[in-house]
Amino acid sequence: MNPPKRLRTTDNEAEDRGAVDVSVVVPMYNASCWLDECLQAILHQDFTGTMELSVFDDASTDDSRNVVERWRERLEARGISVVVSGHNFAQPRGVGYAKNKAISQSCGHYFCFQDADDVMLPQRVRLQYEASTLHPNSLIGCKVQRVPEGSTERYTRWINTITQDQLITQVYTSHGPTVVMPTWFCSRNWYLKVGPFDEGGKGVPEDLLFFYQSLRQGTESETIWKLRVDFLQERVLNQWESFTIWNAGKQGRKLYRSLSPTNQKKVKAFCDVDDNKIQKGFYTYEESKQRPKPKIPVLHYKDASAPFIICVKLDMTGGVLEENLNSLQLKEGKDYYHFN
């Protein structure tokens, strides 16, 4: 059964809709000649989660709005809801303003930023969504192909060959953000923490300003995380022969990925109380360069063995976590440590 057609044109009405996994955010200004190819690519995404297209028209004088409306039925038949609005000012308000308005009317947990004159490959939303769920406090980018091939050759080569370390070390070059804006994907929470985009209009590099603010936020939180992990390894894990991570969810997996290779090998299992996680049987470390990739068992906490690193927030389970720990008759500081 196809979802009902929706027409939303105001910010407040976004609150009336159920949330979707991904909102494709498209600021639009006189883009009619590119939109068919852009929207067709959105239609052909192989992502199996829920999606919406959120378009804000920044005073276009061509038939861009009509082009989007012509695609509405095909997109909604595919399960992609369409949200379109705009303003009637005589002049465009700028890309930053249009992005903020497209976001304010959207209801996605994650944002895929799409320029109206760009085309995304079929796997883009799926792959970036998977990466963003693993790294929710990050801007996720990707490589690009230029059309026509060979245009802006040096810039394109830079985008596609930059290393993970160079994403930080080359932020001072004239190229602009090392994660280029047309490829951005991030969580709503990250946008709310970092944003909104600057609305200064023409001549204001709203993407660069947002990128720098992301670095400020990310550097602070990731630096603190790294310090905590390093101290845990120094004082506890380096003395243990093996241990179990209590939490097979995001925080537990993030801790595992942050450990040194030596301490990763000491992780004999994840444990949890969530049947869905336990039934999967294993956590596969997909980002590992090892072959075969490490697979760590996921067990019920009653079937796991100490010592434990507890990656569950204190006082957030209504006492259930504390009761479970007490039932195992464990001693804090010997059989387990909290890391949450």
Q: What is the CATH number of the domain that holds 262?
A: 3.40.50
Instruction: Output the pLDDT for position 224.
Output: 77
Q: Distance between CA atoms of 81 and 73, rounded to whole angstroms?
A: 9
Please give the model's pTM, rounded to 2 decimal places: 0.67
Buried b (16+ CB within 10 A) or exposed e, 193-225: ebbbbbbeeeeebbbebbbeebbeebeeeeeee
What is the number of domains present in the chain?
A: 2
Helix axes 206-235, 250-258, angle to 10 degrees: 80
What is the largest distance, in Å, between two alpha-carbon atoms of the chain? 71
Instruction: Output the pLDDT for position 17.
Output: 65
Q: Are residues 203 and 238 in the same domain?
A: no
Q: Which two tokens stand for residue 313?
A: 């927030």
> Is 328's pLDDT higher than 80?
yes
pLDDT band at 313, cuts 50/70/90?
confident
C-alpha distance from residue 39 to each of 120, 260, 314 (Å): 9, 44, 46
Instruction: Average the pLDDT over each of 69-83, 202-216, 218-232, 304-318 and give the range with the smallest value.
Output: 218-232
> Is 85's pLDDT higher than 90?
yes
Q: Are residues 292 and 168 in the same domain?
A: no
Q: Quick one: which of 61, 62, 63, 58 has its CA closest to 94?
A: 58
Q: Which two tokens stand for residue 317?
A: 């389970």
Q: 98: how many CB neighbours lie within 10 A of its CB?
A: 27
From 170, 187, 218, the end of a domain falls on 218
Q: Which two tokens stand for residue 315?
A: 């006082």
Tell whether 9 is covered by a domain. Answer: no
Q: What are the φ/ψ torsions at residue 80 (nearest 5 degrees)? A: -100, 110
> Is 73's pLDDT higher than 70?
yes
Domain that holds residue 276: 229-338
Q: Are residues 187 and 46 in the same domain?
A: yes
Q: Are residues 74 and 110 in the same domain?
A: yes
Tell whether 12 is covered by a domain. Answer: no
pLDDT band at 2, cuts 50/70/90?
very low
Instruction: Output the pLDDT for position 6.
Output: 32
Q: What is the pLDDT of residues 147-173, one digit of tens each?
A: 888 888 989 999 999 988 888 878 888
Residue with tokens 């290779």: 261
Q: Are residues 53 and 169 in the same domain?
A: yes
Q: Are residues 198 and 60 in the same domain?
A: yes
> Is 3's pLDDT higher than 50?
no
Tell whether 183 is covered by a domain. Answer: yes
Q: Are residues 30 and 112 in the same domain?
A: yes
Residue with tokens 């989660």: 49
Cis link prior to 148 (omega < 30° from 0)? yes
pLDDT band at 132, cuts 50/70/90?
very high
pLDDT band at 14, cuts 50/70/90?
low
Tell whether 103 is covered by a domain. Answer: yes
Mean pLDDT of 66-72: 98
Q: Are residues 156 and 287 in the same domain?
A: no
Instruction: Output the pLDDT for position 269.
Output: 98
Q: What is the CATH number of the domain that holds 92?
A: 3.90.550.10
Q: Are residues 295 and 182 in the same domain?
A: no
Tell whether 161 is covered by a domain. Answer: yes
CA gyration radius, the chain: 23
Beta bridge partners of 84: 55
> Is 13's pLDDT higher than 60?
no
Q: Distance between CA atoms of 204 and 227, rounded to whole angstroms?
A: 36
Tell whether 283 is covered by a domain. Answer: yes
> Is 5's pLDDT higher than 50?
no
Q: Are residues 135 and 44 in the same domain?
A: yes
Q: Are residues 202 and 236 in the same domain?
A: no
> Is 120's pLDDT higher than 70?
yes
Q: Are residues 149 and 81 in the same domain?
A: yes
